[in-house]
Amino acid sequence: MSSDTCGGGSPAQGSNEKGSSTSSVDKQREKARVSRTSLILWHAHQNDAAAVRKLLEEDRSLVQARDYDNRTPLHVASLHGWIDVAKCLIDYGADVNAQDRWKNTPLADAEGAKKHNMIELLKSHGGLSYGQNGSHFESKPVPPPLPNKCDWEIDPSELDFSNSNIIGKGSFGEILKASWRGTPVAVKRILPSLSDDRLVIQDFRHEVKLLVKLRHPNIVQFLGAVTDRKPLMLITEYLRGGDLHQHLKEKGALHPSTAINFALDIARGMAYLHTEPNVIIHRDLKPRNVLLVNSSADHLKVGDFGLSKLIKVQNSHDVYKMTGETGSYRYMAPEVFKHQKYDKKVDVFSFAMILYQMLEGDPPLSNYEPYEAAKYVADGHRPIFRSKSYLPELRDLTSQCWAADMGQRPSFLDILKRLEKIKENVPSDHTWNIFST
């Protein structure tokens, strides 16, 4: 017995030999049947009535053979108008009203192809015409879109929470992993107790309107929302890698090349948001709002735009009086903490704090409570670089990004250029040595 019929069994498994042999024979029969199915369809296509008849003499069941579109040999012959092949198939009992995947009968195909002799032959044997190409097919008018219904509005019944779990919480709601049309998604769900709060609804609708406009590989993809029923829900792609906060908590200081790649991904997303004339200021850029696409941590996306602001820029140097103390204290720019006028450079400051954390392993000013850390920074202080072998170029970039004067901070487009240059010069074996006093 050949090795491929033994199934890799040892001599001790001899009792199963007969079953394995039978299984092998069944497989060979199935393979031969599939081969004959292809043959009869091919000969029907080639108008070879003699070959079709020979195959049917050997196996009458082949008259009902089907291809991957559920089309029979009679469908094939009818479409081409091969009368002799069709007569042979009908003699062997072909179903003249068999339907393919589009619900077309052989007569519908013949009518569609204007094969008049074939039409007469099929009708004489009881052939009916229906399907997409048939005369009995009536196209249904496409209903107009529902009034005021956005393309992204999702019916809550399409969301499956049967195996959901909470992956994040906030003051207004929770974020759950769920399933939408069979795809894992992240669902931000507003707490029922806040569903009637005017400001909460306003903020929710603002975030939806903002996300609809965003299209970038480094921005979490918006999929849809539930806005006309309660609870209100916002649906985005689900990223399996979790957030950067948890990743850094587990990994500590990152390898230089990894830190630079992460920084590049964040900067790309932020450069897109900051593009004029429609500038989006994130205002809450922090590790929890930066997500890893997968467990390999090879790609990052910026997310959570609940506090973002879309600004129509009239002048590239415009600054704005906005809500003070917006965002998370530990990563907050001093001008925000002090309720001063500010612009998009507040995000550059937050980026510097994230870059520091990736390089050092600990959150900036980790020995301070978040509010005290923000106050300390607002008083002019900055985190201390502790690494022995910190790359000077990265230290300089970080320092410029958290400059007290927001006008001195580089744009994200400039940050990208500098990071690319630094990346070219990073030795593959360069690592940081963290020490604490």
Residue pair 347/274 in contact by the 8 Å Cβ criterion: yes
Strand partners, 243: 291
User: Distance between CA 122 and CA 114 in Å, rounded?
Assistant: 13
Residue pair 397/351 in contact by the 8 Å Cβ criterion: no
Residue 385 corresponds to which tokens in the numbers above? 């670089």
Residue 81, CB-side half-sphere exposure with 13 Å CA sphere: 7
Strands (E), 201-264: 222-226, 233-237
Active-site residue, 284 included: yes
DSSP-derived 3-state class of residue 5: helix
How many residues can be counted in the chain? Answer: 437
Catalytic residue among 284, 304, 343, 347: 284
- The answer to whether the annotation marks 188 as part of a ligand binding site is yes
Q: Which amino acid is at 37?
A: T
DSSP-derived 3-state class of residue 280: strand
Instruction: Name the residue with tokens 């602001």.
Output: 309
Strand partners, 409: none
Report CA-CA distances (Å) from 330 to 243, 333, 334, 406, 414.
Answer: 17, 9, 10, 17, 24
- Binding-site members for ATP are 188
Which residues are tagged catalytic? 284
